[in-house]
Amino acid sequence: MRALVTGATGFIGSHLVRVLIDRGFDVRVLVRKTSNLRWIEGLPVQRFLGELRDPASLEGIGEGADYVFHLAALLKGHRKEDYIEGNVTATENLLRALSGSGDIRRFVYLSSQAAAGPALHPKRESEEARPVSYYGLAKFLTEEAVRRSGLPYTILRPPVVYGPRDGELLFYFRSLKRGYAFLPGNPEVVRIIYVEDLVEAIVDSALSDTTLGKTYFVAGEENMSAEDLLREIARALGIERPMIIKLPPQIVLPLVAFWSYLQRLFRKASMVNPDKIRELSQPGWNCSTEAAKRDFGFTPRHSLKEGLYKTVMWYLKAGWL
């Protein structure tokens, strides 16, 4: 079995590459000239040099591939156009490059719960998608491009992903280690997923005949408020009574907008931006994983406590905490 992976040098993608190798896949990874290869250095993979925003560089990328795992995405931007270009347009370029590859058995697109939008109840895949952020809109529009492509596809919508090598939630781990954390908004229900559980689900969904042409939520079993999640992270760090400082979104948004403006001046992007605050301001981010359990046996192997413990241990060993 031969697999092509985009986003292979990132947090989730690098974990996926290792699982694919362990499962006997021959793996090809799309890398840019500027890609940091530290997480896949030394692994038996074929490197394909290209750029999703440069269609000409993608010629021949799908040659010989049985499975395509598309994880590359733009997570941080300043404008709606940034998210569209980095997700929708980039994916359309990839889909066109793959259009002549007749041997592809499955194209797996890693979307996001953000594409479906918030919900207090366990939202199902059949419900209308109502994204509230530019990122969520871009992921939903990318889903639609995949559905129109004519390729045999499966789409997964995970919530926030955590685990070793994650640099986005690291901010909260570092803050809580000092005994406090700021919380803009406080969703009543959130779910997250440990990275190892997610990448196993990605591969399992690709190998299942039942998942062809379908979309699935995949998430950890526990759901709780955002505040309780921060307290669980603190507990994993050995902090029993952290100070959780709740900030009303209407106060945070102007400050974050100014910060985002400064970031744009210096041609940088941060996860601390108005788009992310719009997501955190929602009352809940819940979803149902019943379809994934039924169709391809999705079962998270890590409880939240176990996943957080392994994450903290890795951060400490890596010197990130």
- pTM (predicted TM-score): 0.94
Give per-residue pLDDT as tens, 197-221: 999 999 999 999 999 999 999 999 9
Question: Between 3.40.50.300, 3.30.70.60, 3.40.50.720, 3.10.150.10, what CATH number should domain 2-165+192-221+285-303 receive?
Answer: 3.40.50.720
State yes or no: pLDDT of 254 exceeds 70: no
* pLDDT at site 255: 58
The string of pLDDT tens digits covering residues 138-164 is 999 999 999 999 999 999 999 999 999
CA distance to 76, 169, 264, 268, per residue, from 271 (Å)? 6, 10, 13, 11
**pLDDT at res. 267:** 60
pLDDT of residue 253: 61
- Whether the per-residue pLDDT at 257 is higher than 60: the answer is no
Determine the pLDDT at residue 184: 83
Confidence band of 268 (pLDDT split at 50, 70, 90): low
User: For the chain, what is the mean pLDDT?
Assistant: 93
- pLDDT (0 to 100) of residue 76: 83
The full 3-state SS of the chain, as one line of letters, equals CEEEEECCCCHHHHHHHHHHHHCCCEEEEEECCCCCCCCCCCCCEEEEECCCCCHHHHCCCCCCCCEEEECCCCCCCCCHHHHHHHHHHHHHHHHHHHCCCCCCCEEEEECCHHHHCCECCCCCCCCCCCCCCHHHHHHHHHHHHHHHCCCCEEEEECCEEECCCCCCCHHHHHHHHCCEEEEECCCCEECEEEHHHHHHHHHHHHHCCCCCCEEEECCCCCCECHHHHHHHHHHHCCCCCCEEEEECHHHHHHHHHHHHHHHHHCCCCCCCCHHHHHHHCCCEECCCCHHHHHHHCCCCCCCHHHHHHHHHHHHHHHCCC
Average pLDDT over residues 60-68: 95
Task: Quote helix, strand, coil % in the chain, to nearest 5.
Answer: 40, 15, 40
Q: Summarize the confidence of residues 167-195 as an average pLDDT.
A: 93
Would you place residue 79 in the very low, low, confident or very high pLDDT band (cuts 50, 70, 90)?
Answer: confident
Strand order in the sheet with 153-157: 45-49, 26-31, 2-6, 67-70, 106-110, 153-157, 214-217
The pLDDT of residue 247 is 79
Choice between 118 and 259, residue whose per-residue pLDDT is larger: 118
